Amino acid sequence: MADHANAAQPVLSIRDLRVSTCGREPVEILKGIGFDIAPGETVCLVGESGSGKSVTSLVTMDLLPQGELRATAGSVRLNGEEILTATPARTKTLRGSDMAMIFQEPMTALNPVLKIGLQMDEVYRAHRRMSPAERRQAALEVFASVHLPDPPRIYDSYPHQLSGGQRQRVMIAMALALKPRLLIADEPTTALDVTTQKQILSLIRELQEQQNTAVLFITHDMGVVADIADRVCVMRHGEMVEAGPVGQVLSHPTQPYTQALLRAVPSLVPRAPRPEAAGPPAIEVSALEKVFQIGSLPAQLLGRAPHRVHAVDRVSFRLAQGRTLGIVGESGSGKSTVARCVLRLEDPSGGEIRVGGQDIARLRGARALAPARRRVQMVFQDPNRSLNPRLRIAESMIEGPLNMGESRASALERAGELIEVVGLPRASLRRFPHQFSGGQRQRIAIARALMMDPEVIVADEAVSALDVSVQAQVLDLLAELQAKRDLAILFITHDLRVAAQICDEVMVMRRGSVVEHGPAAEVLAHPRHDYTRALIAAAPGRDWDFSTGRRIEVPA
């Protein structure tokens, strides 16, 4: 926490900052925002997509896209030096040496064809006069400081050879290599599971305390805010609607928008149990196995046995109509592989998958699998990738029914009905995916899944990339559709808060195996397995009920 003396000498000071689009009819993106960050202090910018959070960070780094956005008024001072009037050469020097940024997705920030060591070497060559040996040694030392295992191996690896958490640690190492006074972190943990997220947040705090770094942390995760922020600035439509110490804003928000934002955050306290459904299960999985063979052909050519990875190890569960089963666990636990096997996007290595009483585990070929695939549909994590950007929404929605033999007129009529069911107008069918917000695209993805009239929906991290308010809307939509259509939902997530609010049962996976399975109220409120307890302990803001602004008791 920054003291009052330091607060009088901010590392970053923003005053009346205004940013507009370029062109004949400019639109104001930032509307006179301002705040300070003192040495050793963490200020969190929160708000929905489009609120101006990331634009604020880009102005500070002098990285606004040329010809698209421009600062029209105000002041941005780094250590007293004005950024808005500095030359590009000067701000290039300041980036890395005095200020640095950690981006949300390290795979897009890192060059996939260059080894990590070479990319780290560029940082030192750009800002320091050092020999190649000195640069390598400095890189290995900073890799060790961010707790990366085996720094020499990391140095000689490509980005795709590292886990998501390791890639994010590399990004932090690059950002902090030259000990900048300001660190900007733009959603650096959104795509990470809770245990890796906790490690990254702890690492940023540890390095911040060692170097007295000022941190501007951009996030939509209120749990993260509760854990790391000293002060919070709430943004909406380019304006600062509320700001203050973290405890004050979370406990006693004064603005209706802040209050609504906090009410939308799901609680870690499980919802009240619903009565169990009678009748046969919509889907039943018994002793499911999936084994991947890595490097099998080269190994066989050299006379060696291929390396076998047991991604799913004898997993069993039953899911009744109208019920939701949540599968939780870290990355690599086997959650998504189970989902892909259920959808028959992967061929199981063993076990049974019964849909409507029929075992589909051993069916092969599109024709044999078509009836089962119609009964089980998927909503993916990123609708940007699951919707074809070149097709209008209508064409994307009717593709499946047309392949199953339905007439175009009938499919278009149903598409119009379903797009309204998910809360969008029929005119949306004539538009392209890029003309919608992230939440609207996910609604379209749900409507497209419903076009096949499924009995089971598999939602793989379907709300993890959405703002909390949009996330709440999509979760409410899924619950409403489930009640009306008696849908069974298999919900894959790493967010225990979401699991607590939408799931009837929770199955916890680790390294391909189920370690705990039972009613959500039992598993999340009274976990029996050490791994489940570790997951709950790692959940950000675990001791806050944001809707009431009060602290809650959570399992030890």
Calculate mean pLDDT across residues 159-182. Answer: 85
Taking CB atoms within 8 Å and a gap of at least 24, the contacts of 250-255 are 250/222, 250/225, 250/226, 250/544, 250/546, 250/549, 251/549, 251/550, 252/549, 253/549
Of the listed ranges 153-162, 328-337, 543-552, the one predicted with least confidence: 543-552
pLDDT digits (tens, 9 = 90+) for 10-48: 999 999 999 999 988 899 999 999 999 999 999 999 988
- Residue 103 to residue 541: CA distance in whole angstroms: 22
Dihedral (Cα; 89, 208, 268, 502), 10-degree rounding: 20
Residues 432-464 have pLDDT tens digits of 998 887 788 888 999 999 999 899 999 988 887
12-262 against 320-347+358-551: fold identical: yes
Is domain 12-262 given the CATH code 3.90.550.10 in the classification?
no
117 has pLDDT over 50:
yes
- The yes-or-no verdict on residue 293 having pLDDT over 90 is no
348 close to 287: Cβ distance less than 8 angstroms: no
With a pLDDT cut of 70, the percent of the chain lying above it is 95
Mean pLDDT of 181-202: 83
CB atoms within 10 A of CB 16: 12
Tokens for 82, please give them.
């004005």
User: Residue 546 in 3-state DSSP?
Assistant: coil
Reported as a pLDDT band with limits 50, 70 and 90, residue 7 is: very low
Q: What is the pLDDT of residues 322-367, one digit of tens each?
A: 999 999 988 778 898 999 999 898 899 999 999 988 899 888 887 8
Asked if pLDDT for residue 517 goes beyond 90, the answer is: yes
Domain definitions of the chain by residue range: 12-262, 320-347+358-551
| Residue 316 pLDDT exceeds 90 | yes
Nearest to 499 by CA among 268, 208, 260: 268
Q: What is the pLDDT of residue 11?
A: 96
Mean pLDDT of 475-501: 90
The angle formed by the CA atoms of residues 417, 422 and 424, to the nearest 5 degrees, is: 80
Rounded to 5 degrees, φ, ψ at 386 are -90, -15
* Angstrom distance (rounded) from CA 267 to CA 289: 34
Average pLDDT over all residues of the chain: 88
Distance CA 230, CA 2 (A): 8
pLDDT-based confidence at 302, cuts 50/70/90?
A: low
- Other C-beta atoms lying within 10 Å of the C-beta of residue 149: 10
The H-assigned helical ranges of 452-516 are 468-485, 496-502
Going by pLDDT thresholds of 50, 70 and 90, the confidence category of residue 5 is: very low
pLDDT of 380 above 50: yes
Phi, psi of 241, deg, nearest 5: -90, -25
Is residue 166's pLDDT more than 90? no
Q: Tell me, what's the pLDDT at 81? A: 95
Q: Say which CATH architecture domain 320-347+358-551 belongs to.
A: 3-Layer(aba) Sandwich (3.40)
Q: What percent of the chain has pLDDT over 90?
A: 50
